[in-house]
A and B are shown apart, each in its own frame.
Chain A
Amino acid sequence: MACVSAVALPARGFPQPQHANPKEELLTLPGEIGRPGGRLVVALRSEPKTLNPLTAADTPSREVIAAMQADLIHINRATQLTEPALAKSWKISPDGLRYTLTLRQGLRFSDGHPLDADDVLFTFRVYLDENVHATQRDLLIVGGKPITVRKVDAQTLLFQFAKPYGVEERLFDGLAILPRHLLEKPYEEGKLGQLWSLSTPPNEWAGLGPFRLKEYVPGQKLVLERNPYYWKTDTQGHRLPYLDELDFIFVPSADAQVLRFQSGETDIITGLGAENFSVLSRQQRGFTMADAGPGLEYNFLFFNLNDPGEKSSPEMTRKQKWFRDVKFRQAVSAAIDREAIVRLVYQGRGAALWGPVTPGDRRWVDAAIPHPPRSLERARALLKQAGFSWSTAPNGASKLVDSDGNPVEFSILTSSSNADRTKMATLIQNDLQQLGMHVQVVPLEFRSLVDRVTNTKQYDACVLGLASFDADPNPDLNVWLSSGGTHLWNPSQSHPATPWEAEIDRLMEQQLSTPGYGQRKKLYDRVQEILAENQPMIFLASPDILVGAKNTLANIHPAVLEPYLLWNVEQLFFRNAAGGASQ
C-alpha cells in the first residue's frame, strides 16, 4: 500500500530530545512495541473554538486539548480506574480531607522548560480564580468551599478539601497542568481567557501532552506534531508517542465523515450512528469496524413536573395533574417498546435501559433494578388504578380520558438535529396511541429546546439524552440533585418538591463525601431504586460505541469513555513503514 504523501518522512529511529536528562522519571506503559513515524488523520465535527483549557467547553476543543495536555492523575479509559500520570504517587489522609501528590522529577514542557510544583500551584490558582471564569472551577468546589493547594516541597503538593470527596482522585482527570512560564504574565494582566486561540503561534504555547501545536490552517485542519519531551516510554525504553503527526481536519457532518473514512482520507472514525456503521461494515476494505459495547449515554423521556404557581394556564394544570401521578408515568414506561427502539433506532447495537447507569458502566450498574418487559395490559391496569378510562372517539378509535373526562393529549419535544431521538419519540408516539393517548412529536431546534426546558419551562414532555464523561455518579450530580441546573424535570429547585427527591438529595450528598467505592455503591444503588420506583425520567436505551480504524493502525483498543480511540494515542502506530493517509 503505497503512501501518496508528498512530504517525505525521514527514515530515522526514535527522536531524542536535545538534552536528555538522566534524572527524568518517566512512566513506562505496557503494550505492543511499535515503530516510529506516520501521520494520523482524524476528522472533527467542527473547528475547535480554542486551545485554552480554561474556556474550552465544546467537544472538538476538548478532544484536541486532550492530545496536547496532561493531568496529575489520569483515568485509564479501558479499565475505568485511575492511574498515576504527572503525579507518580498520591496519598489520601484517613479522614479524606488531605491529598498529598508527589510529582515526577525532571519532566519538561513541550518547549523544553522544566516542570515543577510551582506550575501546579499556578494552575490551580488560575482554575479557582473567580475572575477567570474557568469551566473547571465548579468541579473544585467541595462542600461549598473551593479546595486549597499548598506546596510542601519542590516535588510534593498538598490539596485540602473542606469535606471528604467521594470521587477521590478521579477529580484530577482532565485538569491540565498549565505552563507558568508562559501564562503567569497574561494572568496578572487579566488576559488569560483570550489566549491560546487556534491561531496561536506554536512558540507561545506549551503543554505536557503527547503532541504539541505545529500548525493551524483556518477552515481546514489543525496539525499537531510529536512532543519530543513527552514523559512516557514503552517497555523497551523508547520515548512515546510513536506517531510523528496528528492531523485534525474539519468535516462538519457525520455523513461526510463516513465518506472521508471510506475513501481513506481519515484513519479512524468515531461517534458513528448504527446505520452508517452498517454501511461501513458491509464493505470493510482496508479498515475494520468494531462495536465496543454500550457507552455511557442514556436517553430518556421526562415530563414537565415544574411547579408554575399562579402563572400556570388551565391547560398546563390539567396536564400536570396527569404527569405528577406516578402511576401515569409508570404506565407510560410499561407501554414503551424498548426492544423496538434498540432494533429500529440502533439496529440492535444498543441496550434497553431501565435506569441511568448503562451496561457500559460496569462498576456502578445496579443489577437489582427490575427490567419489566413491555406490557400494554399492565399499563392499562395502572391507568385504571389512577382513575383514567377509555371512551370511543367518533372515528372509532379509543381515547384515554382522565377522571374529569378530558382526553389525554400532550406533546413530546425533541431536538430537530438529533435523528435518533426523534425516531424514539415517533416510536413512543405510536406506542402510546395504543393506550388511547394522543401524542404529538415536536422537533425543535436544540437551543430553543434547552431554553424551554431549563428557562421558560413551557413544554409537556421531552426526549433527551445525557452522556456522562466518566463512569462515576458524580459528573451527573446536577442531574439528580433537586437544586441542580440539569435536574431536567424540575430544575434548580430551592427545596425538594417531593419526599423522594429529598431522599435522593440526601443520598447524593452523602455519597459525595463518602470515600470508598463499596459504601458509595450502596448509596447510589438506592438512588437508582428510587428513580425506578418514581420514574421522573423514563429511561429508554443506550447506543453502543461504534468505531472504525484502518487496518494498518495498531494498538487500537476502543473504549466506551471519551476519547474512544485516541485515549491511548501515544501508543498508536502504523504497521507499514511510512504509514499515514493513503488514497
Chain B
Amino acid sequence: MRYLLRRAMHTVFLLFGVSILTFLFSALTPGNYFDEMRLNSQISPETVAALRAQYQLDRPLPVRYIHWLNSVAHGDLGFSFAYNSPVGPLLWVRARNTLLLTATATLLAWLLALPLGVWSAARLGRAPDRVLSWTTAALLVIPDLILALGLLILAVRTGWFPTGGLVSVGYETLSPLQKLRDLALHMALPVFALVLSALPMLVRHVRASVAEVLDAPFLRAALAHGIPRRKLLYGYALRAAANPLISLFGFSVGALLSGSFLVEVIMSWPGLGPLLLEAILARDLYVVIGGVLLSMIFLVSGNLFADLLLYWADPRIRTAASAK
C-alpha cells in the first residue's frame, strides 16, 4: 500500500514538472498562431491584435498556467487555435488511432516473440537458433526510419496497399466486413513496420532470459518427472524467466502512445504523432501540452504497471517488500 502511494505521488510530481516545462517552452518560443493572419494584406494589425487578446495570449505566463491548471481540474484541456475546437476531443480521437496501431503491433510482436524466443532458447547454439539470431541482428541493424520509408516505397510502387490515412473515402457506406477489410489494409503497413522494429529486441530478450533459466536444477527435476517438453518450456521455464520480461512488457505498454511517432508521420497515419508535430509547428500551445501530458501519463503508467505486475507475479518481491 505504502509502495503504491509513493509511486502515485512520484507520478504526480513528474506530471507537474513536465507540464510546467512544456508550458514554458511553448510560450517562450516566438511566433503564435495569429502571425499567419498578419501576412494577409486584407486584415489590419489592429484586428489581429484584438483577436489575440480575445484568446488571452496577452496575459502573463504564470496567469495562463494557473488558468490552464484550473481548467484541467475541471476536465477541460484548453482550446486549440489551429483546429478551433477543444483540445480534449481532438486528442482522444488521435490517441485512439495511435492506440489502435500500437496495441495491435505490440500484441502481435509479443505473440510472435514469445514462441520464437522460447523455441530459439530450447535449441541454443544449433542451426535454427543461429539463423534466428542472424535474422534478428539483421533487422536490428535497420533503423525504423529506413524501414518505414522502404515499406512506403514498396506500397507506392506496387499499389497493393493504401499509402496513408485511416480509412478510404466512403467508408461509412461499406458493410461491417468491408469496413474491417478497409481498416486492416490501411493498418497493414504501419503495423508491419512497428512489429519489425520491435520484434528483434523482444525475441533476443526472451531468448536470453529463457536460456538462463533452462540450466536450472528444478527444470531438470521436472524433466525427470516426465513432464512433457512443451509444458516444461511454457509452463515452467517461461514463468521462471518472466521477471525481466514483465518489466519489458511494462515498457511496451508505456510506449504505446509515443513509440510510433516516426512511423505515423512517414506513413500519414492520423495518430497523435502527426498531430503533435503540426501543433508544435503551429505554436498551438494547449494541444502540445495536452499531447505531451497524455504520452507522459502512458509512459509513467507503463512503469507503474510493470512494477505492479512484478509485485503480483513474483512472490519473492512480495515477501521482500513486506519484510521491509
Contact = CB atoms under 8 A, between A and B. Distances in A.
Interface of A: 4-7, 41, 47, 49-50, 57, 133, 135, 137-139, 197, 217-219, 249, 251-253, 255-256, 259-260, 263, 265-266, 417, 445-452, 454-456, 464, 466, 468, 475-479, 484-486, 492, 581, 583
Contact of A135 (B39, B43, B162): B43
Given A478-B41, A485-B38, 20 more contacts: A5-B170, A47-B83, A57-B37, A133-B47, A137-B47, A138-B42, A138-B44, A138-B47, A249-B169, A256-B165, A259-B163, A265-B169, A417-B281, A445-B31, A446-B35, A447-B31, A449-B31, A456-B30, A466-B39, A485-B41
A197 B47 contact: no
A485 B45 contact: yes
Contacts of B37: 57
Interface in B116-147: none
A133 B50 contact: yes
Contacts of A5: 170, 173
B322 interface: no
A456 B168 CA distance: 45
B207 interface: no
B298 interface: no
A449 B283 CA distance: 12
The 5 closest A-B pairs by CB, nearest first: A447-B31, A450-B35, A6-B173, A451-B31, A49-B84
Nearest to A468: B41
B107 interface: no
Interface in B5-35: 29-33, 35
Contacts of B31: 445, 447-451
B41 A451 contact: no
B47 A581 contact: no
Interface string B42-75: 1111010011001000000000000000000000
A139 B281 contact: no
Contacts of A49: 83-84
A447 B45 contact: no
How would you classify the secondary structure of chain B's contact residues: helix, strand, loop or mixed? loop
Contact of B32 (A4, A57, A447, A452): A447
A135 B45 contact: no
Interface of B: 29-33, 35-45, 47, 50-51, 54, 83-85, 89, 93, 162-165, 168-170, 172-174, 268, 270, 274, 281-283
A445 B42 contact: no
Contacts of A133: 47, 50-51, 54
Contacts of B270: 219, 252
A445 B44 CA distance: 23
A265 B30 contact: no
Nearest to B156: A259
A266 B169 contact: yes
A265 B170 contact: yes
Nearest to A445: B281
Given A50-B84, A259-B163, A452-B30, A485 B44 contact: yes
A139 B42 CA distance: 7
A57 B43 contact: yes
A84 to B, nearest CB: 24
Given A197-B84, A219-B93, A448 B43 contact: no
A451 B172 CA distance: 43
Nearest to A416: B281
A479 B84 contact: no
B268 A256 contact: yes
A260 B30 contact: no
17 contacts: A7-B173, A49-B84, A135-B42, A219-B93, A253-B164, A256-B165, A447-B33, A447-B281, A447-B283, A448-B30, A448-B31, A456-B30, A468-B41, A485-B38, A486-B38, A492-B45, A581-B169
